[in-house]
Amino acid sequence: MTDANAADRRFAILSDREIAEILSARVGEHGQAMGVVVGIVEPSGRRVVAQGRFSENDPRLVDGDTLFEIGSITKVFTTLLLADMASKGELRLDDPVQKFMPAGVTVPTRNGKLITLADLASHMSSLPRLPDNIAPADNADPYADYTVEQLHEFLSSHQLAHDIGTHHEYSNVGFGLLGHVLARRAGIGYDQLIQDRITAPLGMDSTAIALSPALSARLAHGHELGLEPTANWNLPTLAGAGALRSTVRDLITFIEAAFDRTSPLAAAFDLTLGTRRPLGADTTEIGLGWMIEKTGGEEMVWHNGGTGGYCSFLGFLPKSRRGVVVLANTVTEFVDNFGRHLLDRKTALAPPPKRRTEISIDPRLYDNYVGQYQLAPGAVIDVSRDGDRLMVQLTGQEQYEIFPEAERDFFLRIVDAQITFEGSGQAESLTLYQSGQRVQAPRIP
């Protein structure tokens, strides 16, 4: 077999029958998701394969027109807005963010350097994952009550931990700020800006933040890892980081626009993919929003997303002109793994996780586990009680509930991860099990 034939086989996307068989096992037999929809685009056309339903109490089957929260895939829409405005001369990628902020709001600097729009778009701003003044009233919808005033307060008081442009740190607040800045520059809301610049020109009429009654009727209900229903997320201030809802058919259209030299957004797509920074590995770069991996003579361009009840993956191979969208109304690592497997056979399908069952224990035992645990330098797991619930929060991330499967053994529903508290009486340490790794974190006195 020639190298060309081997490469073609490696990047050939599975047939509908093969995809359907995998979905039937993962959605049905193993219960990894309530519903999953897969969209494929290739030179021969587009196709959609789906399995599952809207919810336990809603037997409607998911399909290519079902809406899902797409989480951080929103970020590549935000950078496409940035690139479109830059290609039309409305702003420059190297413009400082401070230029677009209202009087009295100071964007942090370091060693005399200003954060630029391109720094935000490539996660090189040195801003953290989350603002340190976010304190949600409802952890099931953690961004809903975060205000523009709080964002401005955070920016004006925050001190950067690294030099700008030297350190890659995934930042939801950075992308929320980018969406906020672009909307200010345009003089309209972020949702309307997305509609005017992207979804209307591309004919994507099922992609939005605020949903009409007709679109709301097609929104599948979100579920946690254990298929428990959960609330939808709302991101009024940090919309640019993850607020969009969409369908597989619309996102296939989005990928096709990246391939189409006649698209009204061709120049903007070129700018998002052509503006790159290395991520410390020879084979991985970041464009404007996009992760770009060089693999087997191809480039895999991708982004994924997740909210409290949904997971998403969007990726494509520019050389082969093949693309994949996977959307699920459940928090599950299967979506990301399956999307990458469909684009590149070298990515093996991960086995389904063990199904876990919550038991009842005396909530007073939780007092033995409350405290802070040092997972790594700069990474602390904070364990706290919220009434009869036990909560965990890793530095810079959202707070999540953990559920007992034994007196000292707990699991998360938001991700396939488990925690065991070690020692008798008050825990002396905890052990985190995730992605095949076991990491022990001693209690901080």
Question: Each residue of 236-295: pLDDT tens digit?
Answer: 999 999 999 999 999 999 999 999 999 999 999 999 999 999 987 678 999 999 999 998
**Do 120 and 199 fall within a single domain?**
yes
The single residue listed with the structure tokens 């591309």 is 202
**Do 335 and 186 fall within a single domain?**
yes
**Do 157 and 109 fall within a single domain?**
yes
Q: Looking at residues 113-118, what average pLDDT do you find?
A: 98
The answer to whether residue 171 is domain-embedded is yes
What CATH number does the domain containing 195 carry?
3.40.710.10
Q: Structure tokens of 11? A: 């990047």
Q: What are phi and psi of 400, to 5 degrees?
A: -135, 150
**Do 316 and 374 fall within a single domain?**
no
Q: With beta carbons less than 8 A apart as the criterion, state whether 233 and 144 touch.
A: yes
Q: Looking at residues 323-340, what average pLDDT do you find?
A: 96
As a whole number of Å, the end-to-end CA separation of the chain is: 61
What integer best gives the mean pLDDT of the chain? Answer: 95
Question: Each residue of 169-205: pLDDT tens digit?
Answer: 999 999 999 999 999 999 999 999 999 999 999 999 9
**Do 368 and 269 fall within a single domain?**
no
- 37 beta partners: 50, 327
Q: pLDDT higher for 397 or 159?
A: 159
Please give the full DSSP string across 49-60, using - where no structure is assigned: EEEEEEETTEEE
What CATH number does the domain containing 437 carry?
2.40.128
Question: Each residue of 370-393: pLDDT tens digit?
Answer: 999 999 888 899 999 999 999 999
Residue 1's pLDDT is what? 42
**Do 322 and 381 fall within a single domain?**
no
**Do 314 and 396 fall within a single domain?**
no
Q: What is the share, in percent, of the chain residues with pLDDT greater than 70?
A: 98
**Do 314 and 438 fall within a single domain?**
no
Whole-angstrom distance, CA of residue 249 vs CA of residue 44: 16
6 band by pLDDT with thresholds 50, 70 and 90: low
Burial class (CB in 10 A: 0-12, 13-18, 19+), 144: middle
Residue 355's pLDDT is what? 81
The answer to whether residue 48 is domain-embedded is no
Question: Each residue of 76-86: pLDDT tens digit?
Answer: 999 999 999 99
Count of the separate structural domains present in the chain: 2
- Domain that residue 424 falls in: 363-442
Question: Each residue of 23-39: pLDDT tens digit?
Answer: 999 998 888 999 999 99
The answer to whether residue 10 is domain-embedded is no
Whole-angstrom distance, CA of residue 320 vs CA of residue 324: 12
Residue 359, pLDDT > 70, answer yes
**Do 274 and 189 fall within a single domain?**
yes
Q: Structure tokens of 200? A: 């209307």
Residue 4, pLDDT > 90, answer no
**Do 334 and 368 fall within a single domain?**
no
The answer to whether residue 3 is domain-embedded is no
Q: Structure tokens of 246? A: 């969409």
**Do 333 and 383 fall within a single domain?**
no
Q: Which helix (H) or strand (E) holds 282?
A: none
